[in-house]
Structure 1
Amino acid sequence: MLRFVHRWPGLLAALLLSLLALSGATLSVFPAAERLAAPQAVSGQSVADLASRIQAAYPGVEQIRRAPSGQITAYWFDNGQPGAAVIDPATGQAAGSADPNQTLRWLTNLHRSLFLGDGGRLTMAAGAAMMLVLCLSGALLVVRRTGGWRRWFAHLRGPLAGRLHVEIARIALPALLLSSLTALWMTASTFGLLPEGDSTPAFPTEVSGQIDAPLRDMPLLAETPVSELRDLSFPYAGDTTDVFSLTTAQGSGYIDQGTGATLAWADLSGWQRAYETIYMLHTGQGAAGLGLLLGLMALGVPTMAVTGVILWLAGRRGRPRIRHNVAPGRADTVILVGSESGTTWGFAATLQAALSAQGHSIHVAPMSSFLPDRYARAQRLLILAATYGEGAAPASAKGFLDRLKRLPARPGVALAVLGFGDRSFPAFCGFAGQLAETARARGWQELIPYDTVDRQSSQDFARWGRALGTALGLELELAHVPVIPASLPLSLISRRDYGAEVQAPTAILRFALPPRSLWCRLSGRGFGRFAPGDLLGVLPEGSEVARFYSLASGCRDGFVEIAVKKHPGGLCSAQLMALQPGDSVRAFIRRNPDFRPGPGKAPLILIGAGTGVAPLAGFLRGNTRHRPACLIFGLRHPDSDFLYREEFATWQQDGRLTRLLPAVSRGTAPAYVQDLVRREGPELARLIRDGARVLVCGGREMASGVTTALAEVLAPFGTTPTDLKAEGRYVEDVY
């Protein structure tokens, strides 16, 4: 529901809100420009002094106005001809033209009413109301995604469009919320929906009948500093019944033109002060710096509109349509989905369709929208959860585990957890396992035992479905057909072979970068945007399940490169190793944003073995800013499987690689990477104390040995690899 409330106002009003934001941002520049250009009053100058100087220069002066920027404008009649000018307060003389800025007037009318009068004002007010809804719903969605208000600025992952959308929102939301609220207040005031609170005193009926008292002898004018002046109107020439009318930041009143006595005075009412504050906050008039800041924040709206549309389109493409998805309050079964790449949603759609066909009412939603109070009729919760990285929650399950830990079990509601993952990774279904253990500890009734699905196996899913059907008293057959990811053909342009002498055939395969449309580049879809450390999903012939290889190149390199080792009985590796230049395979990109060198100039410690060196080589290729980089590379024999040997030599010469430490496991002095970690312990510890980031890629046994060795190295310094992981300075890509 929350996503619905956020999505549709944003999509429907994207153009209107962008127009509001862009025109508002442009208008925010004018108060600052006027402030800089306007001659400012002399320190401590009074209204009496200012008015006397202007009257001396322009005897027929009728009115003096001071704008919030400090600009002073005088209006007069001279021989029956009207005149006006911006005034220099120090001299009382004209300092510039008082003609209105036509560009400012045009933009103001566009921003306020689209040149459509009251109807346009109401339209823009509706836009401000939609902005308010988007701000409030967006704030709640950010909290849901990051896992709480205290984690408002937590690290994000995922496609660039999604991260950019949230990053801008996290910074701009307070300003946009303020702008939308003040716009609605001003519109309500314009249409008389709020009290005016007019405190202007009644015009005096008794005056002295005298004229021409010196302005400097009028106490109210002499006591009022120019900085508080809003408006001073002079009495009509020769009219003994007329008076001076003064408006300041404190109130308004009338002054006898003959005696200088104050005839009436009234302070501003609370409503007037509130309106002036709201006007200042919205327009920046009187607070040019704040106006520029709000204008700058408003520039994020068009970007969020574009990224929002991209996310919506990507979501429609990446997630199957759930037909007959009932409202959460009417469902007897709630299916919650935690997915990183979107494949788990396909299984959820299959499950929903099968249960619906058996007469159940089903509600399917992302785990991040978990709100048990809305599930009034629910008898069971079915959780389908993938795992990201080393046991972390996937993108659509942020915050779920924390909420589950805080909630008591719901009587009468049974729960079943099904994990999705790949057994070749160390943290296989780690997040789903945590969910099952937490639910059990919190006392939730277990509908069926926790189970897993390996590599999107339809057979594993069907087996779990039969167990679920038995628990529900149904004949439940889940015939899931995995959705093959959208892929493109990659043509091999070169290969370098290694490892034959040590019975470990390995190759560095370089493919041509496929054509990329403008949409792919903007949205980051397909091969539009990728970096070393991302994953290349290869679809081998005769299989619907992709195999993943870490990329040694980024889109800026102009090619797609991986390192492949042939595994006995390996379907995909055998097909890749058989490729010759000109041959092609079908593949796609999967982001892996947590496995990155990260920004900044902190040193890099790169540790890998075998084909795990591929993404590390990609990081070094892109290290054009020459961050200190130490590479520990495990291989069998330097004359057989020293991958990227020539590149490493070149990168050492040009400063992209500081130290190269090969660990050769076959030879006169066999050594593994963990042995070099221990040997180089003092230097590695020094780099880590200097803020180094450690990146490890390779087999799980190697990674485990590196963690153990590094723990020994760091123990004397009171830190551990676990501490570094918590700080985001120790990351692994392990298989």
Structure 2
Amino acid sequence: MLRQFHSLSGLIATLFVVLLTISGAVLSLDPLLERSQAKIAGTSSISVAELAGKLITRYPGTEQIQRHPSGSIIVYFTDGDQTGADLINPLTGATIGAYSSSPIMVWIKNLHRSYLLGTPGRVVAGVAAFFMLLLTLSGAVMLINRLGGWRHIFRPIQGPFKQRLHTEVGRVAVLGLILSASTGLYMSAMTFELIPDYSSAEPGFPTHVDGGVPASIDTLSALKVIPITEFRELVYPYPDDPMGVYSITTDQGSGFVDQATGQLLSYQAYGNPQKLYEFIYMLHTGEGLWWLGLLLGLSALAVPLMAWTGIQIWWSRKQSATTINHNSAARLADTIILVGSENNSTWGFAKTLHDALHRLGFQVHTASMNQIGHHYPQAKRMFMLTATYGDGDTPASANHFLTRLAKMTKTPDVPVAVLGFGDRQFPEFCQFAKEVEAALITKGWPQLLPLETIHRQSPQEFARWGQAVSSVLDKELTLVHIPVHPASTTLTLVERVDYGTAVQAPTAVLRFKSPEGSHKGLLNRLLRRSGLPHFDAGDLVGILPPGSSVPRFYSLASASKNGVLEICVRHHPEGVCSGFLHGLAIGDTVEAFIKLNPSFRPASGKAPIILIGAGTGIGPLVGFIRNNKAHHPIHLYWGGRSPQSDFLYETELKRYLKDKRLTKLNPVFSRISQGAYVQNKITEDDVELRQLIGEGAQFLICGGRNMASSVAAALDKVIAPLGIDVATLKAQGRYREDVY
């Protein structure tokens, strides 16, 4: 519900909010520009009388003196029939230059306040400020929920690039946007008298004026006691009017001064409501706090970027919406599928399951988990497919499920199987699915199958789960889910290096280029023109083997700037794609596309990097080392079988040791030392690793799931004396995995 409200509000208000924020960002420069022109050094000891006295000779026709919040002093005067305004130096009274409001800034200010539409535009601007506040607050709540609470507000954000950009920018700008929107809304409400206007309170005009000969302004006692730093405005009396008075405004209040005696005739101090208004006005405009104005302006500039990314995220979500055909009514269905999804991708898997069951003759009803019913009279089985949002949170279409389940007084006698979707990069992998299964067990719900989990929407893992479902249905259920992926590009194999034949583990490093050309300096352009976006080591390439529409993903050992697309592939005896790749000769082609994997990257900074892998998991790790031109400390732990046969990238790694891109190489070979694996080497280096962790080290692990589990267990023991564990490092964004 909150996500839908946030998206709908953003779409409705986008144009007006963007205009409001861009114009506000431009206006935020005003305080800084004025501050740069102001001469304020040493002005604290100058009084208003002294300042006015310095202007007597230069400006005999002075009508008004103003001090802007920036400290600039402006004198307004007449010279014969001409009027003018000059910016002056308060220390000397000398003219700095003519003063005039920029027509462009006046136009932008009118655009900001009323969209150039007068009173109706002011109403629209007020509504836009209201929507901006709602968008910012709802976005902040969503961000907090995603990160697991206020305490984790600075936790690294995972996800696709556009989504990370949207949330990262929002996280930085949120306080500035809340301040701008709330103060703008307050001022708009005051404009339309929805709250009292305290900005125009003035003292009563004096009933008794001396009427004597005007004294020199620099001798007036009331003006002598007002320092220039507290002064705002001095309005002179009309010439040759003995009953005229000076009107003075300061930071504390306003009053009238007798031009003959210099006495303060009447005075009204500002009350708390007036001070509140002025404080809010200062916060909104930055006038008097130029640095705040700049911060608010920078925050405002985040809005167009977030609007652009937000619309793209919304459109992607809309495009990924799934239509369920042949959806039986819940009361007639023998099979129920309930779906918990945040960004619609889980619905695609549910549709594949729904369609496969329908083809087998089942009556299937598919709905969101929030629509769980109390009674399914014909149901004989139930499947719950649910993602986990962020790091352990409930997805949108299941955010009421646990509450509704808890309120059920009678549990339907329908066996249920829970399938969780998530990313092992998050510490709370498939946490919501685990909570769902636990709640169902507590309620006494019969179990059709134990909980299974799917990593990164793997079609292969989903197909294997389908085989488990087949066993309980006693019918062959084939689940072939084809996720939507970008159009593929033809790549040509230009180089291969083979390893591992002697140890029955044939492995190849394969390097591809776009067929349009092979000039290294042009590869980026060529790849983009042929459909591949920019990629980095650690991203994934989807390979489509001949005769299959289901891609197999491989971690990239190269970046676009390296001039090739490089992968490291082991030949599995029953592997369709690995067999195809190992059979390629130089000049052969493959169909491929890029899937970005931004969560598997070394974080920026100078902290040590510890890379851990086994077998072909070394691919992206070598890519990180290859691109370490800044020579950050990198320690590599890698496990193979034999140094003579499958020491992958041996020559290249030793070269990186010499040129300092790699700090330390720690290879382990199981055929040389029986039972020696990479996790054993980690245990041996416990002292060194604890020292590196104390220096802020981050870990990146790539390889098989069993290896990754063993590494995590070994590392937990190594870092236990530090009072932390792997889960802590994951929560801090210092432990990232790419496992399969």
* TM-score (normalizing by structure 1): 0.83
Structure 1 residue 172, shift from structure 2 partner = 0.8
For 1:303 and 1:427, the matched residues in 2 are separated by 30
C-alpha contact (below 8 Å) 2:368/2:397 kept by paired residues: no
Q: Which runs of 5+ in 1 are unaligned?
A: 326-332, 366-371, 471-475
* SS at structure 1 position matched to 2:56: helix
Q: Does 1:409 align with 2:411?
A: no
Q: Structure 1 289/427 Cα, relative in aligned 2: closer, same or farther at 3 Å? A: closer
Deviation track 1:152-192 (CA, whole Å, cap 9, x = no partner) reads: 22221111111111111112112112112222232333344
Structure 1 residue 145, shift from structure 2 partner = 1.5
Structure 1 residue 294, shift from structure 2 partner = 0.6
User: Which is further off, 306-315 or 404-413?
Assistant: 404-413
Which residue matches 2:114? 113
Deviation track 1:126-175 (CA, whole Å, cap 9, x = no partner) reads: 32222122112211221222122332222211111111111111121121
2:571 maps to which of 566, 571, 575: 566
Deviation track 1:587-615 (CA, whole Å, cap 9, x = no partner) reads: 44444444332222222332322212112
Counterpart AA for 1:579? L
C-alpha contact (below 8 Å) 1:553/1:560 kept by paired residues: yes
For 1:324 and 1:53, the matched residues in 2 are separated by 89
Which residue matches 2:496? 495
C-alpha contact (below 8 Å) 1:144/1:398 kept by paired residues: no
Which residue matches 2:143? 142
Counterpart AA for 1:654? D
Which residue matches 1:302? 304
For 1:44 and 1:448, the matched residues in 2 are separated by 85
For 1:100 and 1:207, the matched residues in 2 are separated by 36
For 2:93 and 2:421, the matched residues in 1 are separated by 79
Q: Does 1:505 align with 2:506?
A: yes
Structure 1 residue 124, shift from structure 2 partner = 2.8
For 1:323 and 1:101, the matched residues in 2 are separated by 62
C-alpha contact (below 8 Å) 1:418/1:450 kept by paired residues: yes
Deviation track 1:605-646 (CA, whole Å, cap 9, x = no partner) reads: 323222121121111112111122232332223332222122
Q: Structure 1 265/50 Cα, relative in aligned 2: closer, same or farther at 3 Å? A: same
Which residue matches 2:34? 34
For 2:506 and 2:283, the matched residues in 1 are separated by 68
1:248 maps to which of 244, 247, 250: 250
User: Which is further off, 641-650 or 435-444?
Assistant: 435-444
Which residue matches 1:596? 601
For 1:422 and 1:224, the matched residues in 2 are separated by 67
Structure 1 residue 413, shift from structure 2 partner = 7.8
Counterpart AA for 2:670? S
Which residue matches 2:333? none
Which residue matches 1:89? 90
For 2:210 and 2:402, the matched residues in 1 are separated by 80
For 1:576 and 1:583, the matched residues in 2 are separated by 10
Matches within 5 A, 1:663-674: 663-667=668-672, 671-674=676-679
For 1:489 and 1:111, the matched residues in 2 are separated by 47
For 1:165 and 1:275, the matched residues in 2 are separated by 33
Q: Does 1:635 align with 2:632?
A: no
Which residue matches 1:62? 63
Structure 1 residue 728, shift from structure 2 partner = 4.1
Q: Structure 1 570/25 Cα, relative in aligned 2: closer, same or farther at 3 Å? A: same
Structure 1 residue 725, shift from structure 2 partner = 4.6
Structure 1 residue 674, shift from structure 2 partner = 3.8
For 1:428 and 1:139, the matched residues in 2 are separated by 21
Q: Does 1:183 align with 2:184?
A: yes
Q: Structure 1 477/21 Cα, relative in aligned 2: closer, same or farther at 3 Å? A: farther
For 1:334 and 1:127, the matched residues in 2 are separated by 42
For 1:212 and 1:191, the matched residues in 2 are separated by 42
* SS at structure 1 position matched to 2:197: coil
For 1:152 and 1:627, the matched residues in 2 are separated by 28
Q: Structure 1 414/158 Cα, relative in aligned 2: closer, same or farther at 3 Å? A: farther
Which residue matches 1:329? none
Structure 1 residue 37, shift from structure 2 partner = 1.0
Structure 1 residue 575, shift from structure 2 partner = 1.6
Q: Structure 1 582/689 Cα, relative in aligned 2: closer, same or farther at 3 Å? A: same
C-alpha contact (below 8 Å) 2:422/2:430 kept by paired residues: no
Q: Structure 1 406/556 Cα, relative in aligned 2: closer, same or farther at 3 Å? A: farther
For 1:675 and 1:467, the matched residues in 2 are separated by 41
* SS at structure 2 position matched to 1:129: helix
Structure 1 residue 583, shift from structure 2 partner = 3.0
For 1:424 and 1:723, the matched residues in 2 are separated by 14
C-alpha contact (below 8 Å) 2:148/2:393 kept by paired residues: no
Q: Structure 1 189/720 Cα, relative in aligned 2: closer, same or farther at 3 Å? A: closer
For 1:300 and 1:428, the matched residues in 2 are separated by 30
For 1:141 and 1:155, the matched residues in 2 are separated by 15
Which residue matches 1:485? 484
Counterpart AA for 1:273? K
Q: Structure 1 94/581 Cα, relative in aligned 2: closer, same or farther at 3 Å? A: same
Structure 1 residue 439, shift from structure 2 partner = 1.5
Structure 1 residue 539, shift from structure 2 partner = 3.4
For 1:361 and 1:405, the matched residues in 2 are separated by 20
* SS at structure 1 position matched to 2:407: coil
User: Which is further off, 429-438 or 205-214?
Assistant: 429-438
C-alpha contact (below 8 Å) 2:73/2:87 kept by paired residues: yes
Counterpart AA for 1:617? V
Q: Structure 1 350/575 Cα, relative in aligned 2: closer, same or farther at 3 Å? A: closer
Counterpart AA for 2:646? D
* SS at structure 1 position matched to 2:386: strand
* SS at structure 2 position matched to 1:264: strand
Q: How many residues align?
A: 705
Taking only the aligned residue pairs, the percentage that are identical comes to: 42
Q: Structure 1 660/76 Cα, relative in aligned 2: closer, same or farther at 3 Å? A: closer
For 2:243 and 2:694, the matched residues in 1 are separated by 83
Q: Which runs of 5+ in 2 are unaligned?
A: 328-335, 377-381, 455-459, 517-522
Which residue matches 1:473? none
C-alpha contact (below 8 Å) 1:721/1:730 kept by paired residues: yes
Q: Structure 1 425/8 Cα, relative in aligned 2: closer, same or farther at 3 Å? A: closer
Structure 1 residue 195, shift from structure 2 partner = 2.2
For 2:565 and 2:362, the matched residues in 1 are separated by 47
Which residue matches 1:283? 285
For 2:119 and 2:55, the matched residues in 1 are separated by 39
Which residue matches 1:195? 196
For 2:322 and 2:569, the matched residues in 1 are separated by 33
For 2:10 and 2:563, the matched residues in 1 are separated by 36
For 2:427 and 2:195, the matched residues in 1 are separated by 60
Counterpart AA for 2:140? A
Deviation track 1:401-437 (CA, whole Å, cap 9, x = no partner) reads: 9x99999922348695621469999999854652245
Structure 1 residue 95, shift from structure 2 partner = 2.6
Counterpart AA for 2:38? A
Deviation track 1:281-328 (CA, whole Å, cap 9, x = no partner) reads: 111111111111111111211211221122123223344357999xxx
C-alpha contact (below 8 Å) 1:339/1:394 kept by paired residues: no
Structure 1 residue 478, shift from structure 2 partner = 10
* SS at structure 1 position matched to 2:43: coil
C-alpha contact (below 8 Å) 1:158/1:591 kept by paired residues: no
Matches within 5 A, 1:216-235: 216-235=218-237
Structure 1 residue 382, shift from structure 2 partner = 7.0
Matches within 5 A, 1:667-706: 667=672, 671-706=676-711
Q: Structure 1 352/65 Cα, relative in aligned 2: closer, same or farther at 3 Å? A: farther
* SS at structure 2 position matched to 1:173: helix
* TM-score (normalizing by structure 2): 0.83
* SS at structure 1 position matched to 2:45: coil
Counterpart AA for 1:619? F
Structure 1 residue 336, shift from structure 2 partner = 4.3
Counterpart AA for 1:24? G
For 1:467 and 1:713, the matched residues in 2 are separated by 43
Q: Structure 1 317/495 Cα, relative in aligned 2: closer, same or farther at 3 Å? A: farther
User: Which is further off, 214-223 or 163-172?
Assistant: 214-223
User: Which is further off, 105-114 or 173-182?
Assistant: 105-114
* SS at structure 1 position matched to 2:406: coil
